[in-house]
Amino acid sequence: MKTLSDSLSNDQPAFEEPSIHSLFLEGVLEHAGEGYFLLDSALVVQNPLSRSAMRCLGEENPVGRPFLKILENKVTGEIIERSREYLTLLFDPDLDEETLGEINPLAESEFCYENKRGLWEESSQLRFSFDRLFEDGQVRGILGRVRDVSHEHELQKRLNSTEHQVRQQMEWLVNILHVESSALREFLAGAERELQNIEERLRTPGKPGEYPQVLEDIYRSVYIIRGNAALMDLSFFTEFGHQFLNLIADIRQKTAPGAHDFIPVVVRVKELRSTLTEVENIVRRVSRFHERFRAKRSYESELLVHSIRLLVNSLGSELGKQVQLVHDDFDPMSIPFYHRQAVKEFLYLLARNALYYGIEFPEERKEQQKPAVATIEIASKVTPDGLNLRLRHDGRVLKIERLIEKMLVQYPQLKEEKAGWNDADISRLIFTPGMVDEEERDLIAGYSLDIELLRKRVQSSGGRMKITFTSKAFCDVIITLPLRK
């Protein structure tokens, strides 16, 4: 009986005549679950090889063909090149097996199979291992083993996906528990409305020239969702919204966005829809928990001031601004339970807006003869008209009028139209390319969207809002909410 190494010899056949041993070997190769094949020193496939190996390699008769040629169009060019280097190293008898095993580029690879027309048809996850065949201290050939592990790979992917989903839902659950059920339901309803607006805009985008406006509309809706999530400290939703806004911002910078640019937007919208559905399921499960384990009102009142102070301190530090919170005239205990979550959201949004768009950096404040440390003051008062909330800061406000005057200097033909402008006209003018620079446009966009979000939230609560300001000295916002009889 010849050895396997003998089968690689060029001067005699592998088996001279059938024998019980050769029949046994053929039976093993025919029915083995793992694929076996032989490579000579030129990396050419030799006999014997198993039927399973032929299936895995996607070849009816690979004998006599270079192994690297068989890999073409099935794996990447980089893997083929690394496989060439690796298989060549296997013929160096001085290299140890353990080291060689660690650098195997085909240890687990995705193989893509083409049909007769050269089109991709299917793929499998294959696991290769290689053993050297020695004779007289020299490596005469390589015994390759291959196994289709697609099913195992798919099961592992599902397991990893399930584990990730469980961890994600646990994080969401912890994040959600601190928010009132009614506020969560209101948030979800608002997010659903904005998501429907986005889906409608994607269904009817119009002509290519209208794509920039479609992006603006989607940006506005995502901004509102993110803003509402931030108000309730739903960090996972806030981060998702932030990434979505960055994606849209990148597309908006293109001179002429095309339909293909909306593909990642559509993907994000589907992810947002899926996330919204999962959160709705979680909210339904925790609603009873909220009702049974509601915290004492005195503790919630302390927590409200603490959370606003935490926002001011953390965001101020992040932005490099020095701010103190004054709340001497703010009485959380006077706030009715049914307005408590709304009050928290309003104060969050106003404080964040002041930090981002109003309060100056310490150096700027010193130049304006202001204290380096800015002040945000909150106050509350119950009157016959309702519950009055007030937030005042001693920073500047956006100089919309200054920007308008700047545009009129640049475009004097607009002066006659100025008298008839409304807010929508001004918004369209500001966002017209070339009217204002990118930094000013982003500043105005953030400020106006925040104010729009706040106005919608106040109106949905049946309240009203009044803003008083001077360009450099202060900004005073008063919100009045009705009291139930």
Kindly tell me if the per-residue pLDDT of 80 is higher than 70. Answer: yes
SS3 per-residue string spanning the chain? CCCCHHHHCCCCCCCCCCCHHHHHHHHHHHHCCCEEEEECCCCEEECCCCHHHHHHHCCCCCCCCEHHHHHCCCCCHHHHHHHHHHHHHCCCCCCCHHHHHHCCCCCCEEEEEECCCCCEEEEEEEEEEEEEEEECCEEEEEEEEEEECHHHHHHHHHHHHHHHHHHHHHHHHHHHCCCCHHHHHHHHHHHHHHHHHHHHHHHCCCCHHHHHHHHHHHHHHHHHHHHHHHHCCCHHHHHHHHHHHHHHHHHHCCCCCCHHHHHHHHHHHHHHHHHHHHHHHHHHHHHHHHHHCCCCHHHHHHHHHHHHHHHHHHHHHHHCCCEEEECCCCCHHHCCHHHHHHHHHHHHHHHHHHHHHHCCCHHHHHHCCCCCCEEEEEEEEEECCEEEEEEEECCCCCCHHHHHHHHHHHCHHHHHHHHHCCHHHHHHHHCCCCCCCHHHHHHHHHHHHHHHHHHHHHHHCCCEEEEEECCCCCEEEEEEECCCC
pLDDT of residue 159: 78
pLDDT of residue 480: 92
pLDDT of residue 116: 62
CATH number for the domain spanning 203: value is: 1.20.120.160
**pLDDT band at residue 112 under the 50/70/90 scheme:** confident
pLDDT of residue 11: 46
CATH number for the domain spanning 104: value is: 3.30.450.20
Query: In this structure, are residues 14 and 6 in contact, taking their beta carbons and an 8 Å threshold?
Result: yes
Same domain, 317 and 458: yes
| pLDDT tens digits for range 330-365 | 988 888 888 887 888 788 888 888 888 788 899 988
**pLDDT band at residue 212 under the 50/70/90 scheme:** confident
pLDDT of residue 166: 66
Same domain, 182 and 116: no
Domain that holds residue 265: 170-292
Which of 200-209, 308-317, 468-477 shows the lowest per-residue confidence on average (mean pLDDT)? 468-477
Which of 28-37, 385-394, 461-470 shows the lowest per-residue confidence on average (mean pLDDT)? 28-37
Same domain, 284 and 301: no
Say how many domains are in the chain.
3
pLDDT of residue 12: 44
- 463 or 295, greater pLDDT: 463
pTM of the model as a whole: 0.45
Which of 147-156, 313-322, 439-448 shows the lowest per-residue confidence on average (mean pLDDT)? 439-448
Asked if residue 415 belongs to a domain, the reply is no
Same domain, 316 and 461: yes
pLDDT of residue 329: 92
Kindly tell me if the per-residue pLDDT of 285 is higher than 80. Answer: no
**pLDDT band at residue 182 under the 50/70/90 scheme:** low
Same domain, 137 and 196: no
pLDDT of residue 337: 80
| pLDDT tens digits for range 144-165 | 999 888 888 888 878 777 666 6
Kindly tell me if the per-residue pLDDT of 53 is higher than 50. Answer: yes
Q: Compute the average pLDDT of residues 298-325.
A: 80
Asked if residue 326 belongs to a domain, the reply is yes
**pLDDT band at residue 44 under the 50/70/90 scheme:** very high
d(CA 168, CA 234): 13
CATH number for the domain spanning 466: value is: 3.30.565.10
Same domain, 470 and 342: yes
Q: What percent of the chain has pLDDT over 70?
A: 71
Q: Compute the average pLDDT of residues 203-229.
A: 84
Asked if residue 88 belongs to a domain, the reply is yes
Same domain, 71 and 213: no
Same domain, 144 and 213: no
203, 206, 207, 213 alpha-carbon torsion, rounded to 10°: -100
Asked if residue 339 belongs to a domain, the reply is yes
Same domain, 466 and 330: yes
- 129 or 118, greater pLDDT: 129
Kindly tell me if the per-residue pLDDT of 143 is higher than 80. Answer: yes
Same domain, 287 and 303: no
In whole numbers, what is the pLDDT of the chain averaged over residues?
77
Domain's final residue, options 272, 292, 312: 292
